[in-house]
C-alpha cells in the first residue's frame, strides 16, 4: 500500500520536463524560478545577480540600498525581464564607464548584447520588420570616482588644423580651449589614479614629454595645461588610421603604460580628434581609404575579443572638428524607425569603397589643385565606423561647447553594477528560457541564466508603465480586484433565483376576495 | 446555505454550479496566497498538477457544502465528505494530472523533444491530457463518494477537464496565466456543479394554497412523507383534506391533487361544475364529463392556478412546490 502511495506521489508531483540537479530560487513577487548563472571562465567574468545572496553581496559592499532593486524580475504577461550584472576582473568588481548621448540616454547596445533564448534583443519598434516590439534599457548604479581611467588624446596636428574657418581662432586653438575647459579637466582628473597621455599625429605620431623612450602619463592639471598649450599644427598629411592603431595597439602596450593599466585596473580611453580625412598623398581618393579602414577595424575587433589580455581593451572615441563631407552616410534607404537598426548593422560590417564613400568613392580627397573632398568637410563615415567598433561614440561638430561635451562624455562616470531591462514578445515567456548577456565594451565575456516561468498559473502581473520597460510590481492584495467581484457575481446569481421567484409571486399575487363580493 | 433560498425554478439547476464554482475559485485564491506568502515548494514542472489538484479540492469542498447544507446532513457525513470529497478530490485530480503528463510524453508527437529543450512549457497541446485525466480521476472519485453512476461521473469529469483546458488556453492567450487559471477554475467548478448534482425534487413537496375567498392564505401539503397520496378539495362537510365554502363556488369533492411515488403531481376534476387549470398561455377545463369513464386530469407544475367555480362565486387555488421543511402555517 505504501509503495503504491509513494509511486502515486512520484507520478503526481512530477511533470514531463526534467530540470536537472541545480537549485532553483523563486523570484520575489512571481512564480518564476531561476537557476544559477553560468559565467564564462576566464579573467573577466560577467556576474549576473541571480539570487538574494548575489544581491546581498552588493548591499554589503555599500553600492546597493534595497535588495529589490537588484533581484531579477520576470513579467511573463508583459514580456519583460530585469537583470542586474557587474563585471569582475579576477574576482574583483570592475567599475565601468557609461556614456550618455546628447539627450542623456544610454544606448545599451554599445555596452552589452542580450539574447533571449538565442534571439538577439534590440531596441526596435514593432514595425521594424519582425512585427514584435522590443525595448532595451541599461541603468547604471553604484557611481564611483575611485576607478582609474587612462585618457589617450590623439590630436590631429596636420596643417589644416591651422585654418580658422572664418572664426579668427584656428581649429587647433579651439581644440585646445575645449580641452582646457575646467569641466573637462576636472573630469579627466576626477580620480587621483587617472592619467592622461597626449599624442599628436599627422604623418607620424608624437608623444608629449619629448622622451621617445618613455611615454608620459600626465597626472596633474598643471602639466596637462602645459602639454596642451604646447601643441602646434606643424604636420603635413593625416595618417589617421595608423595613428589610431598606434594609440590602441602600440602605445598602450608600452611597459610604462601597461604597468600602470595593470596595477590600477585602469580603463584606457582613446579620443581621436581630426578635421579631415586619412590621406597620405595627393592622388588618394575616398574609396582608397576603405582598405586602410578595414585593417584598423580588424585590429580594433581583435583587441576587443582577446580574452587573455591582462588589461582592458581600449574604448575609442572620435571627434571630428568640422562638418560631415559624406552627409548621406550610411546610405540607407528606409523608414526612420528602421534606420538606426540598419545603421548599426552596417557599422558591424567591413567597409568597402562604396560603403564608405557612396557616390564619392572616386573623388580625390586633397588634389594638388582645385577643391577636393576634404574641402567639403570631415570623413564622418570613418569616424563613425572607428567609434562603433571601438565601443565609443563619434561626434562631428564645429561648436566649441559641443567639443567640450564630447570630451566630458568620453571621461564618463564609472559605475559598479548595472541593471538591464528588456521587453520582447510575451509568447516567448510561455516556456523555460535562457538569457545570455555578452559584453561589447571593455572586456569580452558572457554569462547565461535560465529562467523557468510558471507554466499553469501565476501571480498578478505588474502594471505596465508608459515610457518604462518594467512596471510596478502588483502586491498580493491586488488579487482581490479579480476574485472579490467574481465571487460577488456568483453569490448574487445564487440569490437571484429566490429574488425573482418572490418578486414574480409578489407582483402576480391576487388580492383576497370576501364572501360578500361573491354574492 | 438554506433550501428556502433555492426556489423550485430554473435556479435550482444552477445553484449547485454557482456554489461549486465559487468554492473552486476560492481554492485557487488560496493557492495564490500560499505561493505569495511561502512560495511554491514543488518543481515548476508540476505547476499544472498542483493547480488541477486545487481545482479538485475546491470542487470537492463545494460539492460537500452544497449537498450537506441543502440536505441538512449530520456531522459524520460532513467529516467523511470533507475527507473523501475534498482531500480525495485534490489527490485524485493531482494524480490524474501527473498521469496525463506521462501520457503526453509518450503519446503526443514532439512532446518529449519539446520538453527536453524547455522543461517548463505552457502549451495546450502538451497540457490537455493532464486536464482530461485530472477531470476523469476526479469524476470517478466523486461518483464513488456519491454512490452514483461511475460512467456518468467519469463523463462529467472529462467535461470538467476539457472545459477548464479550453478556458485556460483562450484566456491565457488574451490576458495572462493569472486570469487564465481563475477562468479555468470557474469552468471546472461550473461544469461539475451543473452536470453532477442538481438540487433534487425530493427536497421539495407540493402544496395547494388558497388565493381567494374567506379561506385566503390557507395552504395544505399534498404529500407528507414522500409516498404517493391524493388531496381532495371540496365542500364536503366531513373529512375533507381542504375544505372550502360552497358560497365561494366550490362543490362537494370538487378537485383532487395526486402525487405518485416519483413525485409527479396531477390535478383531477371531480365535479360537473367549472374546474379549470390555468398556466401561462394555457387554460384546461377539467370539468367532469359523465360520458367518460374516468375524470379528466392534467400534470401540475409549480405556479399553476386551479379555479373552482365561475364568475363572482369562484375560488382560486395555487399549486406550488416549496421546500419540504416548510411548515403548514
How much is the pLDDT for A516? Answer: 45
Give residue A519's pLDDT. Answer: 38
Q: Is the pLDDT of residue A96 over 90?
A: no
Chosen from B45, B48, B112 to mutate, greatest number of chain A CBs within 10 A: B45
Gap between the Cα atoms of A146 and A138, Å rounded: 22
Residue of chain B with shortest Cα separation from A451: B120
Contacts of A464 (CB under 8 A, 6+ apart): A78, A471
Q: Nearest-CA residue of chain B relative to A22?
A: B43
State the number of CA atoms in the 13 A half-sphere of B141 facing the CB: 28
The predicted pLDDT at position A515 comes to 45
pLDDT of residue A50: 87
Residue A285: phi and psi, rounded to 5, are -100, 170
Highest mean pLDDT among A232-246, B48-62, B208-222, B309-323: B48-62
Q: Is the pLDDT of residue A308 over 60?
A: no
Alpha-carbon distance B36 to nearest alpha carbon in chain A (angstroms): 7
What are the Cα distances from residue B205, in Å, to B69, B302, B320?
A: 18, 10, 8
Is the pLDDT higher at A471 or at A421? A421
**Mean per-residue pLDDT over chain A, rounded:** 83
How far away is chain B from the Cα of A20, in angstroms, using its nearest Cα?
A: 9
> According to the model, what pLDDT value does residue A65 have?
83
From residue B214, alpha-carbon distances to A40, A76, A424, B208 in Å are 98, 72, 79, 16
Give per-residue pLDDT as tens, B106-118.
888 888 888 877 8
Give residue A466's pLDDT.
Answer: 66
Confidence bin at A391 (pLDDT 50/70/90) = confident
- pLDDT band per the 50, 70, 90 thresholds, residue A518: very low
Rounded mean pLDDT of A158-187?
88
The grid cell for A195 is: 592619467
DSSP conformation letters of A391-421: EEEEEEES-HHHHHHHHHHHS--EEEEEEEE
Beta-carbon neighbour count of residue A17 at 10 Å? Answer: 26
Q: Does the pLDDT of residue B269 top 90, yes or no?
A: yes
A291 band by pLDDT with thresholds 50, 70 and 90? very high
Q: What is the per-residue pLDDT for A129?
A: 58
In chain B, the residue whose alpha carbon lies closest to the alpha carbon of A493 is B18
The nearest CA of chain A is from the CA of B131 a distance in Å of 11
Q: How confident is the model at residue B325 (pLDDT cuts 50, 70, 90)?
A: confident
**C-alpha–C-alpha distance, residues A243 and A154, integer Å:** 8
> What's the distance, CA A404 to chain centroid?
22
- All residues of chain B having their beta carbon less than 8 Å from the beta carbon of residue A431 are 118, 120-123
Question: How near does any CA of chain A get to the CA of B321, in Å?
Answer: 12
User: In whole angstroms, what is the distance from residue A101 CA to residue A412 CA?
Assistant: 11
- For residue B329, what pLDDT band results from cuts at 50, 70 and 90? very low
pLDDT band (50, 70, 90) for residue B76:
very high
> pLDDT tens digit string along A346-356?
887 889 998 88
C-alpha distance from A456 to closest chain B C-alpha (Å): 5
Q: What is the mean pLDDT of residues A420-432?
A: 88
Higher pLDDT, A513 or A447: A447
> A172 pLDDT exceeds 50?
yes
Q: How many CB pairs under 8 A join A and B?
A: 223
3-state secondary structure B307-324: EEEECCEEEEEEEEEEEC
Residue A329 has pLDDT above 90, yes or no: no
Nearest to A28 by CA among B36, B254, B133, B299: B36
C-alpha–C-alpha distance, residues B199 and A20, integer Å: 50
pLDDT at A212: 60
**Interface touch A518/B36, C-beta < 8 Å:** no
Q: What is the pLDDT of residues B152-192, one digit of tens each?
A: 999 999 999 999 999 999 999 888 899 999 999 999 999 99
Which DSSP category does A247 fall into? Answer: I
Q: Which residues contact B71 (CB under 8 A, 6 or more apart)?
A: B203
pLDDT tens digit string along A203-246?
888 888 666 667 889 999 999 999 999 999 988 888 999 999 99
Residue A519 has its nearest CB partner, among B98, B177, B312, at: B312
Give yes or no for residue A332 having a pLDDT over 60. Answer: yes
Please identify which residue in the block is written with the cell numbers 567609434.
A387
Residue A11 confidence (pLDDT) above 60 = no
pLDDT, position A245: 93
pLDDT attached to residue A433: 92
How far is the C-alpha of A514 from the C-alpha of A1, rounded, in Å? 75
> Chain A partners of B28 at a C-beta cutoff of 8 Å?
457
* Phi, psi (deg, nearest 5) at residue A73: -135, 135
Q: Do A12 and B91 touch (CB under 8 A)?
A: yes
Residue B186 and residue B179: Cα distance in Å, rounded?
Answer: 11
pTM exceeds cut of 0.90: no
> Among the listed ranges A138-152, A215-229, A280-294, which one has the minimum average pLDDT value?
A138-152
Q: Residue A303: is its pLDDT beyond 80?
A: no
Assess whether pLDDT exceeds 90 at residue A282.
no
Is B44 close to A494, i.e. CB distance below 8 A?
no
Kindly list the distances between the CA atom of residue B107 and the CA atoms of B125, B126, B127, B169, in Å, as whole numbers in the listed order: 11, 10, 12, 20
* Strand A80-89, strand B305-310: pairing: unpaired
Instruction: Report chain B's mean pLDDT, rounded to a whole number.
Output: 90
Instruction: Give mean pLDDT, residues A289-312.
Output: 78
Beta bridge partners of B209: B219, B318
Chain A residue numbers touching B122 (CB-CB < 8 A):
430-431, 453-456
Bond before A19 cis per omega within 30 degrees: no
| CB B44 within 8 Å of CB A24 | yes
Packed helices B88-107 and B124-146: angle between N→C axes, nearest 10 degrees = 140
Spatial separation of the C-alpha atoms in residues A138 and A112, rounded to whole Å: 9
Phi, psi dihedral angles at B202 (to 5 degrees): -65, -15
User: d(Cα A29, Cα A453) in Å, to the nearest integer?
Assistant: 12
Contacts of residue A345, Cβ cutoff 8 Å, sequence gap at least 6: none
Q: How far is CA B20 from CA A58, A485, B57, in A?
A: 49, 16, 10
Least confident of A1-15, A108-122, A218-232: A1-15
Which chain A residues are closer than 8 Å to B10 by Cβ? Answer: 497
**What is the Cα–Cα distance from A93 to A142, expressed in whole angstroms?**
11
Give which of B26, B114, B177, B313 to mutate to test A binding, by max A Cβ within 10 Å: B177
Mean predicted confidence (pLDDT) in A25-52: 83
Among chain B residues, CA nearest to A477: B33
Torsions phi, psi of B4, nearest 5? -65, -20
Name which of B6, B39, B118, B247 to mutate to probe chain A: the one with the most chain A Cβ atoms within 10 A of its Cβ. B118
pLDDT in tens, A18-34: 665 567 888 877 888 98
Amino acid at each position: 500500500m505504501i509503495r503504491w502511495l509513494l509511486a502515486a506521489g512520484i507520478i503526481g508531483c512530477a511533470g514531463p520536463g526534467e530540470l536537472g540537479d541545480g537549485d532553483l530560487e523563486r523570484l520575489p513577487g512571481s512564480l518564476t524560478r531561476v537557476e544559477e548563472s553560468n559565467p564564462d571562465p576566464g579573467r573577466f567574468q560577467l556576474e549576473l545577480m541571480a539570487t538574494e545572496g548575489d544581491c546581498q553581496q552588493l548591499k554589503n559592499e555599500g553600492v546597493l540600498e534595497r535588495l529589490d532593486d537588484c533581484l531579477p524580475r520576470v513579467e511573463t504577461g508583459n514580456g519583460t525581464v530585469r537583470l542586474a550584472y557587474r563585471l569582475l576582473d579576477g574576482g574583483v568588481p570592475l567599475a565601468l564607464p557609461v556614456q550618455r548621448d546628447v539627450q542623456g540616454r544610454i544606448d545599451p547596445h554599445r555596452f552589452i548584447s542580450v539574447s533571449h533564448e538565442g534571439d538577439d534583443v534590440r531596441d526596435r519598434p514593432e514595425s521594424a520588420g519582425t512585427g514584435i516590439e522590443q525595448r532595451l534599457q541599461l541603468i547604471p548604479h553604484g557611481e564611483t570616482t575611485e576607478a582609474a581611467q587612462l585618457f589617450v588624446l590623439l590630436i590631429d596636428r596636420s596643417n589644416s588644423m591651422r585654418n580658422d574657418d572664418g572664426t579668427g581662432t584656428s581649429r587647433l586653438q579651439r581644440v585646445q580651449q575645449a580641452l582646457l575647459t575646467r569641466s573637462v579637466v576636472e573630469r579627466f582628473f576626477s580620480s587621483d589614479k587617472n592619467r592622461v597621455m597626449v599624442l599628436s599625429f599627422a604623418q607620424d605620431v608624437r608623444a608629449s614629454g619629448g622622451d621617445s623612450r618613455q611615454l608620459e602619463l600626465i597626472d596633474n592639471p598643471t602639466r596637462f595645461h602645459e602639454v596642451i598649450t604646447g601643441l602646434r599644427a606643424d604636420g603635413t598629411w593625416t595618417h589617421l588610421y595608423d595613428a589610431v592603431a598606434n594609440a590602441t595597439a602600440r602605445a598602450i602596450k608600452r611597459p610604462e603604460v601597461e604597468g600602470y593599466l595593470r596595477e590600477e585596473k585602469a580603463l584606457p580611453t582613446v579620443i581621436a580628434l581630426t578635421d579631415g580625412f586619412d590621406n597620405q598623398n595627393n592622388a588618394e581618393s575616398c574609396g582608397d581609404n576603405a582598405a586602410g579602414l578595414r585593417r584598423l577595424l580588424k585590429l580594433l575587433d581583435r583587441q576587443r575579443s582577446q580574452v587573455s589580455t591582462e588589461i582592458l581593451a581600449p574604448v575609442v572615441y572620435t571627434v571630428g572638428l568640422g562638418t560631415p563631407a559624406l552627409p548621406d552616410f550610411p546610405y540607407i534607404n528606409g523608414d526612420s524607425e528602421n534606420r538606426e537598426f540598419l545603421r548599426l548593422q552596417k557599422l558591424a560590417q567591413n567597409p568597402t569603397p562604396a560603403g564608405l564613400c557612396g557616390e564619392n568613392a572616386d573623388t580625390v580627397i586633397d588634389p594638388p589643385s582645385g577643391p577636393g573632398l576634404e574641402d567639403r568637410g570631415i570623413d564622418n563615415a570613418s569616424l563613425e565606423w572607428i567609434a562603433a567598433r571601438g565601443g565609443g561614440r563619434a561626434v562631428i561638430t564645429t561648436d566649441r561647447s559641443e567639443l567640450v561635451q564630447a570630451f566630458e562624455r568620453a571621461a564618463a562616470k564609472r559605475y559598479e553594477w548595472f541593471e538591464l531591462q528588456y521587453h520582447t514578445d510575451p509568447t516567448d515567456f510561455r516556456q523555460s528560457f535562457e538569457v545570455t548577456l555578452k559584453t561589447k565594451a571593455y572586456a569580452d565575456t558572457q554569462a547565461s541564466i535560465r529562467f523557468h516561468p510558471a507554466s499553469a498559473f501565476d501571480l498578478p502581473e505588474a502594471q505596465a508603465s508608459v515610457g518604462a520597460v518594467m512596471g510596478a510590481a502588483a502586491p498580493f492584495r491586488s488579487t482581490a480586484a479579480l476574485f472579490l467581484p467574481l465571487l460577488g457575481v456568483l453569490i448574487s446569481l445564487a440569490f437571484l433565483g429566490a429574488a425573482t421567484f418572490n418578486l414574480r409571486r409578489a407582483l402576480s399575487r391576487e388580492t383576497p376576495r370576501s364572501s360578500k363580493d361573491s354574492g | 446555505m438554506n433550501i428556502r433560498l433555492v426556489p423550485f425554478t430554473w435556479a435550482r439547476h444552477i445553484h449547485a454550479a454557482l456554489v461549486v464554482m465559487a468554492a473552486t475559485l476560492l481554492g485557487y485564491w488560496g493557492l495564490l496566497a500560499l505561493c505569495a506568502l511561502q512560495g511554491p515548494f514543488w518543481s515548476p514542472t508540476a505547476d499544472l498538477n498542483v493547480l488541477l489538484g486545487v481545482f479538485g479540492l475546491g470542487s470537492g469542498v463545494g460539492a460537500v457544502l452544497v449537498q450537506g447544507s441543502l440536505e441538512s446532513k449530520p456531522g459524520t457525513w460532513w467529516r467523511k465528505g470533507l475527507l473523501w470529497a475534498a482531500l480525495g478530490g485534490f489527490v485524485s485530480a493531482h494524480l490524474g494530472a501527473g498521469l496525463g503528463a506521462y501520457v503526453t510524453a509518450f503519446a503526443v508527437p514532439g512532446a518529449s523533444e519539446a520538453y527536453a529543450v524547455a522543461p517548463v512549457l505552457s502549451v495546450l497541446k502538451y497540457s490537455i491530457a493532464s486536464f482530461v485525466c485530472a477531470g476523469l480521476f476526479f469524476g470517478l472519485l466523486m461518483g464513488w463518494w456519491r454512490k452514483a453512476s461511475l460512467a456518468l461521473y467519469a463523463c462529467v469529469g472529462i467535461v470538467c477537464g476539457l472545459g477548464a483546458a479550453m478556458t485556460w488556453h483562450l484566456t491565457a492567450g488574451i490576458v495572462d496565466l493569472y486570469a487564465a487559471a481563475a477562468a479555468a477554475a470557474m469552468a471546472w467548478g461550473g461544469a461539475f456543479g451543473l452536470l453532477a448534482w442538481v438540487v433534487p425534487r425530493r427536497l421539495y413537496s407540493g402544496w395547494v394554497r388558497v388565493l381567494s375567498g374567506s379561506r385566503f392564505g390557507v395552504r395544505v401539503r399534498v404529500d407528507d412523507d414522500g409516498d404517493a397520496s391524493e388531496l381532495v378539495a371540496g365542500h364536503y362537510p366531513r373529512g375533507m383534506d381542504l375544505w372550502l365554502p360552497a358560497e365561494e363556488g366550490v362543490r362537494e369533492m370538487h378537485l383532487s391533487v395526486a402525487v405518485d411515488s416519483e413525485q409527479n403531481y396531477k390535478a383531477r376534476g371531480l365535479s360537473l361544475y367549472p374546474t379549470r387549470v390555468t398556466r401561462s398561455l394555457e387554460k384546461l377545463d377539467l370539468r367532469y364529463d359523465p360520458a367518460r369513464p374516468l375524470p379528466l386530469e392534467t400534470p401540475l407544475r409549480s405556479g399553476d392556478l386551479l379555479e373552482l367555480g365561475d364568475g363572482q362565486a369562484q375560488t382560486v387555488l395555487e399549486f406550488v412546490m416549496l421546500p419540504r421543511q416548510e411548515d403548514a402555517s
